[in-house]
Structures are given as C-alpha cells and as structure tokens.
Structure 1
Amino acid sequence: MVKATLLALAFLLELALLVAVGWWGFTRSAGWPVRVLAGLGAPLLIAVVWGLFCSPKAGVSLPAPAKLTAQAACFVTGGLLLALAGRPVPGALLVAVWAVDKALLTLAGDPV
C-alpha cells in the first residue's frame, strides 16, 4: 500500500514537472509565438528525455546511478525553470518532494 502510494506520487510529480516547464515557457516575456513554442516545446523535450532515459520502460537502458542522475537533472531543471518564472517556492518544493519520494521508494525496494 505504501509503495503504491509512493509510485502514484512519483507519477503525479512527473506530471507536475511537465506543467512547471510549460508554465515557464508560457510566462516568457516574448511574443506569443515564442511563448507557445517554449510552453509546448520545453515540456515535450523533458517528456522525450524522460521516456528515453528515465521511465521504467525507457528506450535506453542506463545503469542505476546514471538513470537517477538523469531523473534528478530533469527535476532540477523543472524546479529552476519554475523559479525563473517567478515561482521559486513551488520550484524548490517540486525538487524536494521528488527527492524525498525517490528516497522512500528506494528504501521500499523499488529500483531506480
């Protein structure tokens, strides 16, 4: 039950990551074409990286430390972009909650 809850939280955090990156893109101080491109393109880029390297059924199999590094890089990027969009506290919370969830999942025996 606990592991299932942690996995559900991990999934919700991944969705929040995409929303955070999109928020950054749509709040750029540029013309609407740039905002739309950044608001849709940046989350798409994160989703592709996540699908290729970080997901349980990743297209590229990485050793556990490299996979964890890629996941952390995605979340730190999302947190930084959210901070740059004027939301530093939610950006820090996104990264912190992901780190705690990942640590608890690791302790519960879930592979990276």
Structure 2
Amino acid sequence: MNLVLRFLLELFALGSLAYWGIQTGKGLNKVLLAIGAPLVIAIVWGIFGSPRAQIQLSMSMHMMLELIVFGLPAIALYATGKHSFAIIYITLAIINRILMYIWGQQ
C-alpha cells in the first residue's frame, strides 16, 4: 500500500508542476512550462531515482534527488496559492519516505 502511495505522490508531483506552469507562464511560456517542468522531472527521476534507474546513486545523493523531486512540487503549489495542498502533499511524501525506510522498500 505504501508503494501505491509513492506512485500516486509521483503522479501528483508531475500534475502539480504542470499546474504551476499553467498558472505561472504567459502565452507560449505557459505551454512550455506546463509540459517542460513535469517532463524534466520525469526524465531525471527515471534516469537517477526510480527503482529501475539506469544510473544508481549513493544513498545520500538519492535522498538529495528525492528532496528535489518531491520538494519542488510542494514549493510550486505553495507559490500558486495552494498552501493546504502543498502542506498535505509534502507531509504525505515525508511520511511515505519514512515508512519506506522502516519497511525496507525501494
């Protein structure tokens, strides 16, 4: 169940970044940010952070990457005025990561 939550948090992160792009950008930049921000995070996460990542990072580097990948959407939500969503999201992400560590999940 915790891994399902992790997957949902990843999807929510991408959606949050797309929402941020729509809210932040103007004209063509709106489209570029809405597509580009989630795409960049998805590519970086797929290459370095996912369980089947092509490049395995040390534990400290992986934790730094997780902080960025799961922290940026919270910042983006907060910046667009969705304070409650940002706080709930980052709280769930932190609890999820703690449980992953306790239960030995990747």
Structure 1-normalised TM-score? Answer: 0.89
Where does structure 1 differ by over 6 angstroms across 4 or more consecutive aligned residues? none
Q: Which residue of 2 aligns with 1:12?
A: 8
Unaligned runs of at least 5 residues, structure 1: none
- 1:26 corresponds to 2:26: no
1:70 aligns with one of 65, 74, 79:
65
In structure 2, what is the Cα distance between the partners aligned to 1:71 and 1:54? 7
Alignment partner of 1:68: what SS? helix
C-alpha RMSD of matched pairs (Å): 1.1
Shift of 1:86: 1.5
Alignment partner of 1:27: what SS? helix
Segment of structure 1 superposing worse, 56-65 or 34-43: 56-65
2:38 aligns with one of 35, 43, 46:
43
Segment of structure 1 superposing worse, 39-48 or 81-90: 81-90
Q: Which residue of 1 aligns with 2:52?
A: 57
Unaligned runs of at least 5 residues, structure 2: none
Shift of 1:28: 1.7
Q: Percent identity?
A: 30
In structure 2, what is the Cα distance between the partners aligned to 1:110 and 1:29? 37
Count of aligned pairs between the two proteins: 106
Q: Which amino acid aligns with 1:26?
A: I
Cα deviation, 1:21-79, whole Å, max 9, x if unaligned, reads: 00000112522x11111000000011011111110011211011211210111111110
Alignment partner of 2:24: what SS? coil
Shift of 1:105: 1.3
